[in-house]
Amino acid sequence: MTTTTTATPTTLQDCRALDAQDPLRSLRAHFTLPADTVYLDGNSLGVLPTATAARVADVVAREWGQDLIRSWNTASWFDLPQRLGDQLAPWIGAGKGEVVCTDSTSINLYKVLSAALNIAREASPARRRIVSERSNFPTDLYIAEGLCKERGLELVLVEPEDIPSALTADVAVLMLTHVNYRTGAMHDMAATTAAAHAAGILTVWDLAHSAGAVPVDLQGAGADFSIGCGYKYLNGGPGAPAFVWVNPRHAGRFWQPLSGWWGHAAPFRFTPDYQPAAGIGRYLCGTQPIISLSALQCGLDVFDAAVPLGGMPALRAKSLALTDLFIRMVEERCAGHGLGLATPRDHARRGSQVCLTRTEGAYAIVQALIARKVIGDFRQGDGGTGPHLDILRFGFTPLYIGFEDVWNAVEHLRQVLETGEWRRPEFNQTNAVT
């Protein structure tokens, strides 16, 4: 890992001073964090909001237990997907009535990718390809592969630098994740969307590693479709409902393929034929998971609390400061231990995570850190043509991560590397979830 700075080494006292000056420091109180734990895995599973347990208990005990089926009306269960969509919309550059929170990321991708293919191929049947990044998140590639097999189309996977040349006249859809899950590299959504549109291609953007962490402007970028999950930076809990956004110019054009009763124009008329709801409502499917949606609402409420403290500009500024500091301190204090940097240094190309690389022992190093209550995660090398580089992945959620956390994380990493602690047998036993 090449050192690029000659700055004076940062001390623990320096980091504590930065935390004292942090305009977002009060937001940490909105979360339940285990004592003495540095949690750098919010890009995989967000932290529990303090309000969630009581809210879920109230939904179970009172709204369900006492009010029973009446709560669909009295507690407004019925329109909860739309209300949460409206609450999320400003954080992804969407308008009111353009987003619903529902289902999983994979299911929602199937819906929007199907609709995008219908629209693109209606305009030009010769468009028989979906283009995506080779290192895109696997579920996105699996869903696209399945649709291609079903429809006799072709999925083309390219390196990020080859995307412009892959936008040819036979491509129907460009499907990308805005922030790469392996490296933290962020695409220029506006420029990439404009290039796709210039070639007559529709865009589908996965915001799983963006929503709540980096600035997103779907409307401003002119994007066509977008999906994302609720359990990472949005802190909705394990398996939290995901979300769907469809540009209004497309929302009313095609049925999405999972034409369930909740996406009907009038579900409780119980007509035998499907009549799709107007706009984004048709991207709902079956009866909604109210308990899970209620937990997600608690995560979104914290973002409301962030608005008077500076909103997304303040969150982004802190995220970049945290990741800058982490990169610099790793270079200063862990030099000579075979670590590389996969994450872009350029702020415009960096998400809210830092991914370090190593040819040996990356998994065991992460496990040794977890035993020390510094929680990140591991991703295996992608099998490309270059040297095999596994990834130590660290997410920085500015809602609850502070600068002292960065200092502590790097100090533990230094100790794990210098002592060879990671070589211990218990840290080299692979768990089911890495």
Q: Which of 393, 396, 400, 403 is catalytic?
A: 393
From 206, 377, 390, 405, the catalytic residue: 206
137 an active-site residue?
A: yes
SS3 content of the chain, % helix, strand, coil (to 5): 45, 15, 40
399 within 8 A of 19, measured Cβ to Cβ: no
Active-site position among 110, 137, 283, 403: 137
Return the bridge partners of 356, or none. Answer: 341, 392
403 is catalytic: no
Alpha carbons 283 and 268: distance in angstroms, whole number: 17
Q: Residue 135 and residue 235: Cα distance in Å, rounded?
A: 25
H-only helix segments in 94-199:
105-123, 138-151, 163-166, 189-198
User: Of the residues 31, 231, 400, 403, which is catalytic?
Assistant: 231
Separation between Cα atoms, residue 275 and residue 423, nearest integer Å: 61
Bridge-based pairing of strands 225-228 and 243-246 is antiparallel
Residues in CB range of 253: below 8 A, 6 or more apart: 115, 118, 119
- Phi, psi for 328 (deg, rounded to 5): -65, -45
Q: Where are the beta strands (DSSP E) in 150-260?
A: 154-158, 171-177, 202-206, 225-228, 243-246
> Does the active-site annotation cover 142?
no
What span, in angstroms and rounded, lies between the C-alpha atoms of 399 and 121?
Answer: 42
Q: Has 16 been annotated as catalytic?
A: no
Q: Which residue has the tokens 């942090």?
A: 22
Tracing tokens 């591991």 back to the chain, one arrives at 378
Residue 318 CA neighbour count, 13 Å, CB half: 28
**363 tagged catalytic:** no
The CA dihedral of 285, 289, 295, 297, to the nearest 10 degrees, is 40
The answer to whether 333 and 410 are in contact (CB under 8 A) is: yes
Taking the C-alpha atoms of residue 153 and residue 183, their distance in angstroms, rounded to an integer, is 29
Question: Would residue 279 be called left, alpha or beta, if left means φ above 0 and alpha means ψ between -120 and 50 degrees?
Answer: left
- What residues are annotated to the active site? 137, 206, 231-232, 393
